[in-house]
Amino acid sequence: MTDLRALWDFDDPAGSEQRFREAADVAEGTERLVLLTQVARALGLQEKYDDGHAILDHLAVGDHEVAARVSLERGRLLRSAGSPDAARPHFDAAAAYDEDDALRIDAIHMQALVAPPEEQVALHERALAIATGSADQEARDWDASLLNNIGMTHADAGDFAAALATFEQAVAARERIGDDDRTRVARWMVGWALRHLGRTAEALAVQQGLKAELDALGATDPHVDAELAELGELGA
């Protein structure tokens, strides 16, 4: 089976669409159908929702994995188009598929994104339990994103102490995975939570550390600059 992650560049959905189409052209059976579900997802990221649905409409779903992926991507298209309530049953259907941990986690995390606030943490924690107990590394590596989502749910509820603790766990997960860019984002979240807790000196140290790393790479991040400006105004 083709490694779907290797074909994705979420910053370039049009390019991703082309790669998935080319891969589907030479694939057969279930693999071809799975690749086409990713074509639909890439179309959705380009706001071509009708085109995405048209792809899914033409996929035979006798295979349980394909059926789950069709449900997941149809739900994503509906949510992105502004219909979260219509998306939820599709995410529920995808989450019922339990033969692929990573796919199931993805579906549950999408359930959480369209659920009422009071249900979101429980859903993300359900997905996190599957991730931490999985033998599949792709599923295991979902923990970083899920921890970030749990932290944001706590932050949205105004509980920045719980958010900070969760964001710190997310940093450790990102460091394990080894993605420097995403690790910096996770560290930014820690600094952001520290500022909201009034721990401005610690927050400043986090953002200054990120700024120094970015400077060394010849890169910039407006979010880091914005936090530094905010902390400067606070007199940290």
φ/ψ (deg, to 5) at 58: -100, 10
Tokens in use for 168? Answer: 């710190």
**Per-residue pLDDT tens for 134-176?**
999 999 999 999 999 999 999 999 999 999 999 999 999 999 9
Contact 52, 23 (CB under 8 A): no
Other Cβ atoms less than 10 A from the Cβ of 216: the count is 8
pLDDT of amino acid 3 = 85
- DSSP tally for the chain: helices H, then strands E: 14, 0
Tokens in use for 132? Answer: 């931490």
Q: Rg for the chain (alpha carbons), in Å?
A: 19
Angle between helices 101-114 and 64-80 (to 10 degrees): 30
CA-to-CA distance for 112 and 121, rounded, in angstroms?
Answer: 8
CATH code for the domain defined by 141-236: 1.25.40.10
**Per-residue pLDDT tens for 32-54?**
999 999 999 999 999 999 999 99
pLDDT tier for residue 60 given thresholds of 50, 70 and 90: confident
What does pTM read for this prediction? 0.89
Q: Which residues, 6 or more positions from 77, have their beta carbon under 8 angstroms from its beta carbon?
A: 40, 44, 49, 52, 53, 56, 87
